[in-house]
Structure 1
Amino acid sequence: MALLLAAALLVLGYALVSKTSERWVVSAPMLFTGVGLLIGFSGIFEVESLGAGTVGLLAEATLVLVLFTDAIRIDLSKLKNDALIPTRLLVIGLPLTLLAGAGLAYVMFDGFGLAAAFVVAAILTPTDAALGKQVVTDEQVPVRVRQSINVESGLNDGIMLPIVTVAATVLAMESSLEETGIAGLIASQLGVGVLAGVVAGWVGGRLLDAAVSRGWVEGIMRQLGTMAIGVAAFAGAELADGNGFVAAFVAGLAFGAAARDQCQGAYDFAADEGELLTLLTFLAFGVAVVGPILDEISVQTILYAIASLTIVRMVPVALSLLGSGLKLPSVLFIGWFGPRGLASILFGVFLLEDSGAAINDQIFSVVVWTVLLSILLHGATAPWLAGRYGDWYERMETDDMMEAEETFEFPIRG
């Protein structure tokens, strides 16, 4: 109960200065992770009461909400007409980042086989734009660049989820898994998840849209109904031995296609609850996860974490944007601002819960150190680099620059 009181007071305190904090070097994830770490070290609170079940439940609820709302906030019908940069980042940059991360992990860590290398790379490939929120909210930064980072972050966690799922399960079963087992795994986990997501999202979306158009539902119940669709997709897939997280993401995409007019209100509602869950996740990350990992530092882990945030991310981004028309400062800016945050934390927690194997502990340590460095480095550099890049753009702006072209603005998570 004391820990709950501390969390409530921290949220209240941050809320009181949240507008002012937009100018701080210390971001919300930095603050909540740091306070969580202090709570864990202080000994004032019974941190043991924050058991694995509590953290797992918080992580599960947060990930379902994030995946579903990320999917509904990106309007694919608008994106397909103006998707040059995000498409390059997701279709070219994302696979290259995965391969680069897996290759580096395989070389650097003696105990890693291919499955372990792909697991750690897949967990650390998704980005979280909320860790450098100023980058996607600062109007000095050209809207095309801001929205490219935003759209990439909104879709890459859902895209990587099936790869994380398959790689982690293969890792757990690699000693006895045969080819038929792999095919069965993909069919049961992903196939059922996709089917449940499509059915729940499309049918639920059409029903809700019809009810709204007839005046049968309005206000908060419309928003609650939308959230219920995401939860139903998750629960239905899990009951059918599928992957509920895949179902939640697919349900968001299907709902967006079936009931686009209902998405904005639902997203606004979910964004508030999602913000609270996200902050509590970073607090729990600091309290229960970061402290124990500090004793497990190694040179290879730190070097991999630094490489993951720099060359493993920035080189594939640069390659994917060749010929796009973006200037070098824009390419470097997009390449640097690929923070690792919420999705990586949550994927890592589920990996650790699934198995207590030593190799999973090592993977989790690499993930935690990478996320921790990302929280610090991207959070601290976002205000300064956004300002510097904005100043450069103001000096160099011309009508024929790719950066200057208008684009649709999607909602921003966090």
Structure 2
Amino acid sequence: MEPTEIAIIGVTLLAFAAVSRRLDSSPLTMPMVFVATGAAMSALNIVEVGAEIEAVGLLAEITLAVILFSDATRLSLPRIRRFIAIPGRLLGIGLPLTILAGALVNHLLFDDWPWAQALLLAAVLAPTDAALGSAVLSNESVPTRDRLALNVESGLNDGLVVPVVAICTSLLLESSRSTASWIGFVAQQIGFGAFAGALVGFGGIGILRRARSAGWSDARYEQIATFALPVVAFCGSAALGGNGFIAAFSAGLAFGSGGLRRRIRSDEPDMAGPEEAEHLAEFTEDAAELLGAVTFFVFGNLFVGDALGEFSPAVIIAALASLTIVRMIPVAIALSGSGLDTAAKGFIGWFGPRGLASIVFGILLLEELEERSETADQLVGVISLTVTLSVFLHGATAAYGARRYGAHSAHVEPMHEPVAMPRMRGGRQPQP
């Protein structure tokens, strides 16, 4: 990118930061601002990132690795296991059903697609992004149980779909593999990825803890070193032949869950492992937010600026279905028998916005499938339209929907159990 183009992104970041608190109470969100700015820069021929697709692809890979690590670190397993029932249903039942339903709808709408491509699109659009509905997570009138469910689901589902995305992408690009070769490939991608990630995560927090205990390290550099861990996990796994995204996700889980309760120094309070890991990962979380903002700008510039008005009816129907029936029906099925009423199921089903993970997968697919046929253009078109609609529809309805649902819940469930909410991406800590 040219210096002028980079400067425009920087000015947009500065302008948004200057008014960000004022925008908290408005329906205007950070993703809306950066997607719209990127699209406008493309439409006016001021900034064009499409010519630098390899650099954009590298940015997308690093962004997703950092986000996966950051999300997994904040949602450490020891902290959430007491409250995993509803998120467990969403991830264990709702997520697979969403992918299967999406694949079926895609196959019906695009009957010339191979099943691998229909399944790939469904997996790319399955992850949710809590940052797009931050007004929901920060609204105290919404039961903490539901905010926690949405937060935990969005933090974990992008990592869980990575194997499906990786396998389906390889099926499209390397259809000549034998069955035995595919079994070995899948085992290598998941096994080496998880191993490399766990090694980096446990090793990273162990080294940092011991260095601090010995008085050798400075807190500033501890946080910078933490930011390097997802990059190390991603690249190290790739060198071993594993999947780098699985490695980054596993590293975050290991880093966030791998501490024993102990005193770091005599002049510091006793700190549990997950709290310590969250503190060390604060810079990484801020970096993920910055990379996310840039990614939304790139998405608007690369996918939205020249595409509006060019979508076929099948692409439009697929995008609308992904945001409604493909998400909401599986959620309702997953939450059957959970004790939640119809309003709660509808609320959780609607606020499953598509955001950064889908964007990053889309950018990588654009790079991988650049030379392929019209079906690849349809796939990328569905991704771009779904995310664009989600950014604006979910962002605009989050505050209003949270107020209405909170008022409903106050009559149905006047007492809510206090729960310590994990930090969400974006820096605002929702309160129980």
* TM-score band, normalised by shorter chain: over 0.9
For 1:97-108, list aligned pairs within 5 A.
97-108=98-109
Separation of aligned partners in 1, 2:368 and 2:190: 17
| SS of the residue 2:20 aligns to | coil
2:24 aligns to what SS in structure 1?
Answer: helix
Task: Provide, for residues 123-151 of structure 1, a one-character-per-residue CA deviation record: whole Å limited to 9, x for no partner.
Answer: 00000011111011111211111111000
Shift of 1:226: 1.7
> Which residue of the partner structure matches residue 184 of structure 2?
184
Residue by residue over 1:4-31, the C-alpha shift from the partner in whole angstroms, topping out at 9 and shown as x without a partner, is 1211111111111100101111211111
* Higher helix residue share: 1
SS at match of 2:83: coil
Following TM superposition, by how much is the alpha carbon of 1:101 offset from its aligned partner in structure 2, in angstroms?
Answer: 0.5
Comparing 341-350 with 353-362, greater Cα deviation is found at 353-362
In the alignment, the residues of structure 1 paired with residue 224 and residue 354 of structure 2 have an alpha-carbon distance, to the nearest angstrom, of: 30
Partner of residue 246, structure 1: 246
SS in 2 for 1:294: coil
2:340 maps to 326
- Residues matched between the structures, number: 408
Alignment of 1:103-118 (within 5 A): 103-118=104-119
Q: Which runs of 5+ in 2 are unaligned?
A: 260-272, 427-432
Structure 1 stretches of 4+ with a deviation exceeding 6 A read none
- Report the more deviating stretch, 81-90 or 184-193: 184-193
Distance 1:162 1:152 in 2: 17
Q: CA deviation at 1:48?
A: 5.2
Please tell me whether the aligned partners of residues 50 and 288 of structure 1 are also in contact (alpha carbons under 8 angstroms). Answer: no
Name the residue aligned to 1:364. 380
Q: Hey, what's the Cα distance between the residues in 2 that align with 1:281 and 1:337? A: 21
Alignment partner, residue 255 of structure 1: 255
2:50–2:302 Cα contact (<8 Å) kept: no
TM-score normalized by the length of structure 1: 0.95
Whole-angstrom distance in 1 between the partners of 2:30 and 2:229: 30
Q: Residue in 2 aligned with 1:65?
A: 66
2:289 to 275, 293, 305: 275
Matched, 1:38 2:50: no
Letter in 2 for 1:103: L
- The partner residue of 1:347 within 355, 358, 361 is 361
1:207-244 CA deviation, whole Å, 9 max, x = no partner? 22222222222311111222222221111111222211
1:126/1:156 contact within 8 Å kept = yes
Q: Which residue type is aligned with residue 318 of structure 1? A: A
Paired residues of 1:194 and 1:250 also in contact (CA < 8 A): yes
User: Is the counterpart of residue 395 in structure 1 residue 411 in structure 2?
Assistant: yes
Q: For residues 23 and 318 of structure 2, what CA distance do their matches in structure 1 show?
A: 31
SS at match of 1:112: coil
1:405 matched to 2:417? The reply is yes
**Deviation (angstroms), 1:114:** 1.0
**1:195 paired residue number:** 195
Partner of 1:14: 16
1:49 positional shift: 7.4
Which string of whole-angstrom CA distances, capped at 9 and with x for unpartnered residues, describes residues 75-129 of structure 1? 2112222211101100011111111001111111022111011100000000001
Kindly provide the amino acid, as one letter, of the partner of residue 413 in structure 1: R
What is the CA-CA distance between 1:295 and the residue it aligns to? 5.5
In terms of mean alpha carbon deviation, does 230-239 or 147-156 score higher?
Answer: 230-239
Q: Share of identical aligned residues, percent?
A: 43
Shift of 1:163: 0.9
1:36-77 deviation per Cα after TM superposition (whole angstroms, max 9, x unaligned): 11110112x252576112321221221111011111100211
SS at match of 1:216: coil
Equivalent residue for 2:7? 5
Change (3 A) 1:389 1:221: same
Cα distance in 2 for residues equivalent to 1:321 and 1:383: 23
2:196, 2:247 within 8 Å by CA — same for their partners in 1?
A: yes
* Counterpart in the other structure of 1:54: 55
Instruction: Give CA-to-partner distance per residue, 1:253-291, whole Å, 9 cap, x none.
Output: 111222334312133212222111111111111112212
CA contact 2:205–2:277 (8 Å) conserved in 1: no
Q: Give 2:318's aligned amino acid.
A: Y
Give the residue type in structure 2 aligned to 1:309: L
Larger mean CA deviation between 123-132 and 165-174 belongs to 165-174
CA distance in 2, matches of 1:228, 1:37: 31
Instruction: Name the CA distance, whole Å, in 2 between partners of 1:353 and 1:56.
Output: 7
Q: Which amino acid aligns with 2:136?
A: V
Report the counterpart of residue 386 of structure 1 in structure 2: 402
Structure 2 match to 1:141:
142
Structure 1: how far apart are the matches of 2:412 and 2:214? 52
Q: Distance in 1 between matches of 2:145 and 2:419?
A: 6
Unaligned runs of 5+ in 1: none
Supply the distance in 1 between the matched residues of 2:409 and 2:51 (Cα, whole angstroms): 47
Partner of 1:83: 84
| Coordinate RMSD, CA, aligned | 1.5
